[in-house]
């Protein structure tokens, strides 16, 4: 019985990594659709989000079953509860990728990004995708040096996010109100994606060390 329980715990970790892989793919495709106004690619991201949602539901149901039937304690309890919380963050990251794709669909055939922000969004997206890929590696290997790398990437995203508002506030900003609103939303979606990535990384750190030491995200 105990062996089966340990196998179930390992399966939770595998399920988290599987969701993280889908999240990384979603962000990659979402940004490519965003930059090129590829509405077909955007539709793929929007449709694929249902798969992320379904996997989260499956994981959460299994975790709740383990809590109810196995009564895990100490490290095992941390793992089950941590899996529940991480699945929520990963699901939210998938939603944020979907939101970016929805902006693409909303503004098609035009691109979403004003010319002045194209490079900024590209940098934000690349860093978000890097965070997602590092999360996959972290969930599989538990190599805690990856946590610091993820935190550093998120801090860079935060700086870029702040720069978007500086650009929008400049006297020579001449984009339409609708375009300005989209620019603000897009930046916020990238910024929140990074924050949720950090949240997952810190939870993995807690599972490994038993210590919770983090700065709150906005």
- Residues 126/56, Cβ–Cβ less than 8 Å: no
Task: List all residues 6 or more positions away from 34 whose beta carbon is below 8 Å from its beta carbon.
Answer: 42, 100, 101, 103, 104, 111, 112, 113, 121, 125, 186
pLDDT digits (tens, 9 = 90+) for 117-126: 999 999 999 9
Residue whose entry in the numeric block shows the structure tokens 């508002």: 165
Q: Which CATH architecture has domain 2-209?
A: Up-down Bundle (1.20)
Taking 3-state DSSP, the helix, strand and coil percentages for the chain, each rounded to the nearest 5, stand at 85, 0, 15
The secondary structure of 103-147 as a DSSP string is: HHHHHTTS-SS-GGGHHHHHHHHHHHHHHHHHHHHHHHH--THHH
Q: Residue ranges of the domains in the chain?
A: 2-209
For 127-186, the pLDDT digits (tens) are 999 999 999 999 999 999 999 999 999 999 999 999 999 999 999 999 999 999 999 999
Rounded to a whole number, what is the largest CA-CA distance in the chain?
68
What's the pLDDT score for residue 218?
Answer: 43
Q: Which residues contact 180 (CB under 8 A, 6 or more apart)?
A: 168, 173
Of 8 and 129, the structure prediction assigns the larger pLDDT to: 129
Give the contacts of 189 (CB within 8 A, at least 6 positions apart). Answer: 96, 99, 100, 103
pLDDT of residue 79: 86
Share of the chain above pLDDT 70, in %: 92
Please say whether the beta carbons of 190 and 157 come within 8 A.
yes
Q: What are phi and psi of 143, to 5 degrees?
A: -80, 110
Which tokens sit at 175?
């984009």
- Residues comprising the chain, all counted: 218
């Amino acid at each position: 019985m105990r062996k089966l329980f340990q196998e179930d715990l390992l399966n939770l970790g595998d399920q988290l990594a599987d969701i993280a892989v889908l999240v990384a793919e979603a962000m990659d495709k979402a940004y490519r659709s965003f930059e090129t106004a590829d509405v077909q690619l955007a539709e793929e991201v929007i449709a694929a989000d249902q798969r992320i949602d379904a996997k989260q539901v499956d994981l959460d149901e299994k975790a709740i079953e383990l809590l109810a039937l196995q009564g895990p304690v100490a490290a095992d309890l941390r793992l089950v509860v941590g899996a529940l919380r991480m699945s929520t963050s990963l699901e939210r990251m998938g939603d944020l990728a979907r939101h970016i794709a929805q902006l693409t669909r909303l503004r098609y055939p035009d691109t979403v990004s004003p010319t002045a922000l194209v490079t900024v969004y590209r940098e934000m997206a690349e860093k978000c995708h890097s965070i997602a890929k590092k999360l996959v590696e972290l969930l599989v290997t538990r190599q805690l040096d990856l946590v610091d790398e993820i935190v550093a990437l998120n801090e860079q995203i935060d700086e870029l996010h702040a720069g978007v508002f500086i650009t929008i506030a400049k006297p020579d900003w001449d984009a339409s109100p609708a375009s300005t609103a989209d620019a603000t939303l897009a930046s916020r979606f990238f910024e929140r994606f990074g924050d949720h990535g950090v949240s997952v990384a810190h939870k993995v750190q807690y599972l490994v060390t038993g210590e919770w030491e983090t700065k709150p995200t906005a």
